[in-house]
Structure 1
Amino acid sequence: MSPAAQSLAYGIQLPVQSQSTLYTEDWETSAGPADLVEIARAVDRAGFDYLASCDHVGVPHRLAAAMSTVWYDPVATLAHLAAVTERVRLLSHVAVVGLRHPLLTAKQYATLDRLSGGRLILGVGAGHVREEFEALGVDFERRGAVLDETIDALRAALGPEEFPEHHGKLFDFEGLGQRPRPAQDHVPLWVGGSSPAAVRRAALKGDGWLPQGDPRDRLPARIEKLRRVREEAGIAEPCTIGAITGQPFVIDGGWLAGVGIA
Structure 2
Amino acid sequence: MTRRLAYGIQLPVQSQSRIYVEPWELDAGAAELTAVARAADEAGFAYVACCDHVAIPRRLADAMGTVWYDPVATLAHLAAVTTRVRLLSHVAVAALRHPLLTAKQYATVDHLSGGRLILGVGAGHVQEEFAALGVDFARRGAVLDETLDALRAALGPDEFVSHQGELYAYEDLGQRPRPVQAHVPVWVGGSSPAAVRRAALKGDGWLPQGDPRDRLPAQIETIRQLRSHDGEFTVGAIAEPLYVGEPGWDVGRRTLTGRPEALADSLGEYAELGVDQIQVRFRSRSVDELTDQMGMFGTEVAPLLTSVRQLS
Which TM-score applies when normalising by structure 1? 0.91
Corresponding residue for residue 118 of structure 1: 115
Partner of residue 304, structure 2: none
**Any unmatched runs of 5+ in structure 2?**
247-257, 271-277, 280-312
Are 2:169 and 1:172 equivalent residues in the alignment? yes
Q: Distance in 2 between matches of 1:136 and 1:65?
A: 22
SS in structure 1 of the partner of residue 160 of structure 2? coil
- Alignment-derived partner of residue 158 in structure 1: 155
Q: Which moved more, 1:136-145 or 1:168-177?
A: 168-177
Question: Contact 2:16–2:68 at 8 Å: present in 1 too?
Answer: yes
The correspondence of residues 1-262 of structure 1 with structure 2, limited to 5 A, is: 9-230=6-227, 233=228, 235-249=229-243, 251=245, 257=263
User: 2:219 & 2:192 partners in 1: Cα distance?
Assistant: 10
Change (3 A) 1:143 1:50: same
Preserved contact between residue 249 and residue 255 of structure 1 (Cα < 8 Å): no
Offset, 1:236: 1.7
Q: What is the Cα-based RMSD across aligned positions, in Å?
A: 2.0
CA shift for structure 1 position 173 = 1.2
Corresponding pairs, count:
253
Amino acid paired to 1:68: G
- Between the aligned partners of 1:181 and 1:164, the Cα distance in structure 2 is 12
- Superposed CA deviations along residues 67-106 of structure 1, whole A, max 9, x for unmatched, are 0000000000001111111111100000001000000000
> Greater relative contact order (Cα 8 A, min sep 6): structure 1 or 2?
2
* CA offsets 1:154-189 (integer angstroms, 9 cap, x no match): 001111111111111101112221000000000000
Contact 2:123 2:144 in 1 (8 A): yes
Give the secondary structure class of the aligned counterpart of 1:190: strand
| Rg comparison, structure with higher value | 2
Distance 2:73 2:158 in 1: 25
Partner SS for 1:241: strand
- Following the alignment from structure 2 to structure 1, what is the Cα–Cα distance between the partners of residues 83 and 7? 17
CA distance in 1, matches of 2:240, 2:31: 22
SS at match of 2:111: helix
- Given residue 208 of structure 1, which amino acid in structure 2 is its aligned partner? G
